A and B are shown apart, each in its own frame.
Chain A
Amino acid sequence: MAIDVTTLSTTRRRFLKGTGAALAASAAGGLCLPALAQAQEITIISNLSNVGQRDILHRLAAEYEAKSGAKVTINNMDHEAHKTAIRSYLVVGAPDICFWFSGNRMKAFVNKGLFDDISDLFARENYKGVLGATTSAVTVGDKQYGLPMGGLLWGLFYRKDVFAEHNWTPPKTWTDFLAFGEAAKSAGMVPMSMGTKELWPAGGWFDHMNLRVNGLDKHIALMDGKVQYTDPMLTPVFDKWNDLIKAGFFSPNHSSFGWEQAGAALAQKKAAMMDLGGFVRSAFPEADIPQLAYAPFPEVAPGVARYEDFSVNSVHVPANAKNKQGARDFLAYFYKPENLGAFLAAEGAIPPRNDCPPSKDPLVNAAVEELKKVVGTSQYYDRDTDPDMAQEGMTGLQEFMVKPERRDQILERLEKTRKRIFG
């Protein structure tokens, strides 16, 4: 009996010890950094959802390890989850390199002092010379805080075979556009495929209308909160947009599905055109991709110069990184024209460097050619304005697309939000 008691108590004690250890581990786990970086270790957090790109990043990391002897650790996160995680890891447990978006979204972190100034890397590798105007996407107050990655040129995509079959050409003017919509409807197709469940496609459509009506400077002023949402300059934008809605241009019930389903409708010839970036290809079966073609958003108000949404992703060195020098060295290797070119080709994005090898992808080449005709670029509604404003704004624009008669209420609500955020 005595033996029984001792064994019992030891197991109990062991149990308690075990629970204590587990508890301590779970408590410490939250404080622990993802990896204890040594001088020769470089950690990267990526948000790549494209398998091809992930593979190339891993290949480049392995090559760099072999070349330099440093150890490169890549942690890949889900693209959407990363958007929320970045705010905590930049403060506690920053990696040495992270992926993000240039422009206003980058600026938000720069203003909080969470991204490192890498102007020295720009000077060392002479990036300004090869990047040209794209440098401005990662510049805040004359300093560079990131390296621009692939760019997405937004516009209208369509199927060449469908257009050939109906003898259509991409509409160039507003009158063309309205006539094209009628033609598409009489062919039994939705003129513009759109899925606004994730809200942003409505923001993009607004961008394109506003850029074509008011031009870049006024659009950016609105994005920066310097123009009221009730300003009369927006009246023609919403009037014209309202005409399209009334004419049944957009997919019915568009708020119940996202861009993937809208893209599939384009691929299945149920819709004639779609407003998106080059990634629309992922909604197409491999065999149909050669049919995909790009056309710029049509002219709305005659005489306005051509401005487009061109959004640029980016990579950054967090201010709290432990191995900032190692991060710079790795980025210099990663950003070599041949490496960057291979990385971006997998996504079908436009390389920011002008010395990357020419792409074999006709869509990318077409976008590069188009970009030369563009006078100025904004990024995208939710990248150009304050995130809080973007959320309210895109919700309002979606509501407008469903209930255009509520326009005044919606704009007043947006104006209230603008005033709260920008003062």
Chain B
Amino acid sequence: MPRFWRRNRHWMTPALLLLPGLVLFGLVILAASFETVWISLHDWDGIGAKTWVGLANYVELAEDPQFYVSLKNNIIWLLIFMLAPPIGLGFALIVNQKIRGMRILKSLFFVPLVLATVTVGVVFGWVYDPNYGLLQLIYGLFGGTTPALLSDENFATFAVAAAGLWPQIAFCMVLFLAGLNNLDEDLIGAGRVDGARGWRMLRHVVLPQLSQVGFIAIAVTVIGALRSFDMVAVMTTGGPYGSSTVLAYQMYEESIFSYRFGYGAAIATVLFVIMIAFIAWYLRGLLRAERSNA
């Protein structure tokens, strides 16, 4: 046994160490994904027998106005979330300055990352409250009244996504701060010798070195925007009348409240396909970056 172990451990050790993770991943992610696709081809209430309906759920989805509302809202989320990487980069550059007291400021910027998203949602829900919220207090100072953001079909999604943006900015800032700490001092020194400073230093010396971090920040932000669910659930429950739902929330609502697991699974599958496209793009970028480094 020990001889067998000694001879084979160079591959068995990593294999065994990977095994628990792989088994869990296979069970919880892969098997569940395949099962979701399978369920989406059935009419199923979550308890009784499944009835095969082929692509009927997808046909219905294509005619469902609510689906397009969700899809549109997902795109709004995506666009708003795209503000997170540049704003995060801006904050990272500011708090990265060596100024007294900057550490306190830096930790203040971290705060939204410490909070659970649900907490952020609840707090922003209060801020937006038209009767006693912080926003109303500010408007009140100027003698105005706030629009009831969360109960207006035109504003609800923007208001919720703006709340979601807050921790996302902090997250991007942390990524860029880490990137800034890894800057090549030699390159900066060389740039300085060549007379680069200020904007030109940033544009031609610092930013190119942050491109990989920036890529990760964008990819994580895209995925964060697509899987937005908790904020919607806490702040509007998709309302008013379904105008602020996103795909993930619609899936939840159909499966849990309407007992339509097949239809919910079809929405999940569509979301999955959209995500796969982004993840493929992400992996391609990651591989290309690794190859160019090697």
Contact check, A387 vs B241: say whether CB atoms are below 8 A apart. no
Contact indicator A257/B237 (Cβ below 8 Å) = no
Query: How far apart are the CA atoms of A23 and B237 in the complex, in Å?
Result: 36
User: Knowing A252-B148, A256-B130 touch, does A391 contact B16 (C-beta < 8 A)?
Assistant: no
Q: List the A side residues contacting B17 at CB < 8 Å.
A: 16
A87 to B47, CA, bound (A): 7
Within 8 A of A (CB), among B58-112: 65
How many residues does chain A have at the interface if contact means C-beta atoms less than 8 Å apart? 35
Q: A114-B47, A253-B130, A256-B129 are in contact. Are A19 and B241 (CB under 8 A)?
A: no
If the complex has contacts A12-B13, A23-B24, A91-B47, are A392 and B258 also in contact, measured as CB distance less than 8 A? yes
Task: Name the distance in Å between B17's Cβ and chain A's nearest Cβ.
Answer: 8
- Pick the interface stretch among A125-133, A210-218, A279-287, A395-403: A395-403
Q: Is B148 a contact of A253 with CB atoms below 8 Å?
A: yes
For residue B154, give the distance in angstroms from its CB to the closest CB of chain A. Answer: 12
Question: Does A398 lie within 8 Å of B241, measured CB to CB?
Answer: yes
Say whether B258 contacts A388, CB under 8 Å: yes
Return chain B residues, CB-CB under 8 Å to A114: 47
Q: Is B230 an interface residue (CB 8 A)?
A: no
Across the interface, do B237 and A197 meet the contact criterion of CB distance under 8 Å? yes
Q: Within 8 Å CB of B260, what residues of A?
A: 388
User: Does A254 interact with chain B (Cβ within 8 Å)?
Assistant: yes
0/1 interface trace, chain A 213-254, chain B, CB 8 Å (1 if under): 000000000000000000000000000000000000000111
Taking the closest CB of chain B, its distance from the CB of A85, in whole angstroms, is 10
Q: Tell me whether B46 and A87 are in contact (CB under 8 A).
A: yes
Chain A residues near B208: list those with CB within 8 A: none
Check A255 against B253 for contact (C-beta < 8 Å): no
Complex CA–CA separation, A91 to B44 (angstroms): 15
Q: Does A176 contact B (CB under 8 A)?
A: no
A-side residues, CB < 8 A to B, are 9, 12, 16, 19-20, 22-23, 26-27, 84, 87, 90-91, 112, 114, 196-199, 252-257, 387-388, 391-392, 395-396, 398-399, 402, 413
20 A-B residue pairs with Cβ-Cβ distance under 8 Å, sorted by A, are A23-B20, A23-B23, A87-B259, A112-B47, A114-B47, A197-B237, A197-B239, A252-B148, A253-B130, A253-B151, A256-B148, A256-B150, A388-B258, A388-B259, A391-B258, A395-B241, A396-B241, A398-B239, A398-B241, A402-B153
